Amino acid sequence: MAFPVAQEAEALFTNMDLLLFSLIIGIVIYWFMSRKKPEPIPEFKKIDTPAPTSRETSFIEKMKKTGKNIIVFYGSQTGTAEEFSNRLSKDAQRYGMKGMAADPEEYDMGELSRLSEINNSLAIFCMATYGEGDPTDNAQDFYDWLQENDDEDLTGLNYTVFSLGNKTYEHYNAMGKYVDKRLEELGAKRIFDLGLGDDDGNLEEDFVSWREQFWPAVCEHFGVEALGDESSIRQYELKEFTDINMNKVFTGEIGRLKSFEVQKPPFDSKNPFMAPVTVNRRLNKAGDRHLMHLELDITGSKIRYESGDHVAVFPTNDSALVNKLGQVLGVDLDLVISLNNLDEESNKKHPFPCPTTYRTALTHYLDISHPPRTNVLYELAQYASDPKDQENMRKMASSSPEGKALYQSWVLESCRNILAILEDMPSLKPPIDHLCELLPRLQARYYSIASSSKVHPNSIHICAVVVEYQTKTGRVNKGVATNWLKNKLVTDNGHKATVPMYIRKSQFRLPFKASNPVIMIGPGTGIAPFMGFIQERGWLKEQGKDVGETVLYYGCRHKMEDYLYQEELEEAEQKVVITQLNVAFSRDQEHKVYVQHLLKNNKENLWKLIHLENAHIYVCGDARNMAKDVQTALHEIAEELGDMTRTQATDYIKKLMTKGRYSQDVWS
Pick one of 357, 369, 392, 586: the residue that binds ligand NAP (CB under 6 A): 586
**Of 47, 49, 46, 69, residue with least CA distance to 59:** 69
Is 625 annotated to bind a ligand? Reply is no
For ligand NAP, the closer CB: 89 or 168 = 168
- Residue 648 interacts with ligand NAP (CB under 6 A): yes or no: no
Pick one of 406, 415, 455, 465: the residue that binds ligand NAP (CB under 6 A): 465
- Residue 448 interacts with ligand NAP (CB under 6 A): yes or no: no
Query: What Rg do the C-alpha atoms of the chain give, in angstroms?
Result: 29
Q: Is 614 left (phi over 0), alpha (psi -120 to 50) or beta?
A: left
Question: Which ranges of 425-462 does DSSP label H, i.e. alpha helix?
Answer: 432-438
Task: Please give the C-alpha separations between residue 496 and each of 67, 156, 297, 385, 483, in angstroms, as whole numbers.
Answer: 52, 59, 10, 48, 17
Pick one of 587, 600, 603, 611: the residue that binds ligand NAP (CB under 6 A): 587
> Would you tell me how many other CB atoms lie within 10 Å of the CB of residue 332?
10
Is 465 annotated to bind a ligand? Reply is yes
Q: Give the residue closest to ligand NAP by C-beta.
A: 524
- Residue 372 interacts with ligand NAP (CB under 6 A): yes or no: no
Angle at the Cα of 657 from the Cα atoms of 654 and 660, rounded to 5 degrees: 155
> Would you tell me how many other CB atoms lie within 10 Å of the CB of residue 444?
22
Asked if residue 460 lies in contact with residue 277, where contact means CB atoms within 8 angstroms, the answer is no
- Residue 568 interacts with ligand NAP (CB under 6 A): yes or no: no
What phi, psi does 514 have (nearest 5°)?
A: -60, -25
CB of 525 to ligand NAP, least distance (A): 3
Q: Establish whether 620 is a catalytic residue.
A: yes
- Residue 314 interacts with ligand NAP (CB under 6 A): yes or no: no
- Residue 99 interacts with ligand NAP (CB under 6 A): yes or no: no
CA distance 523 to 521: 7
The answer for residues whose C-beta is within 8 angstroms of residue 460's C-beta and 6 or more apart is 275, 295, 296, 298, 305, 311, 449, 451, 501, 503
- Residue 622 interacts with ligand NAP (CB under 6 A): yes or no: yes
Q: Establish whether 448 is a catalytic residue.
A: yes
- Residue 444 interacts with ligand NAP (CB under 6 A): yes or no: no
Q: What is the DSSP string of 370-388?
A: SPPPHHHHHHHGGGBSSHH
> Would you tell me how many other CB atoms lie within 10 Å of the CB of residue 166?
20
DSSP-derived letter for residue 526 is G
- Residue 595 interacts with ligand NAP (CB under 6 A): yes or no: yes
Q: Establish whether 665 is a catalytic residue.
A: yes
For ligand NAP, the closer CB: 310 or 350 = 310
| Rounded (10°) angle between helices 174-185 and 140-148 | 40
Is 358 annotated to bind a ligand? Reply is no
Q: Establish whether 667 is a catalytic residue.
A: yes
Is 72 annotated to bind a ligand? Reply is no
CB of 86 to ligand NAP, least distance (A): 25
500-559: contacts with ligand NAP (CB under 6 A): 523-525, 555-557
Q: Binding-site residue total for ligand NAP (CB under 6 A)?
A: 20
Active site residue ranges = 448, 620, 665, 667
Binding site, annotated residues = 76-81, 128-131, 164-173, 199, 289, 445-448, 463-465, 469, 479-482, 525, 586-587, 592-596, 629, 667
Binding site, annotated residues for FAD = 445-448, 463-465, 469, 479-482, 667
Chain contacts with ligand NAP (rule: CB under 6 A) = 465, 523-525, 555-557, 562, 586-587, 592, 594-596, 621-622, 625-626, 629, 667
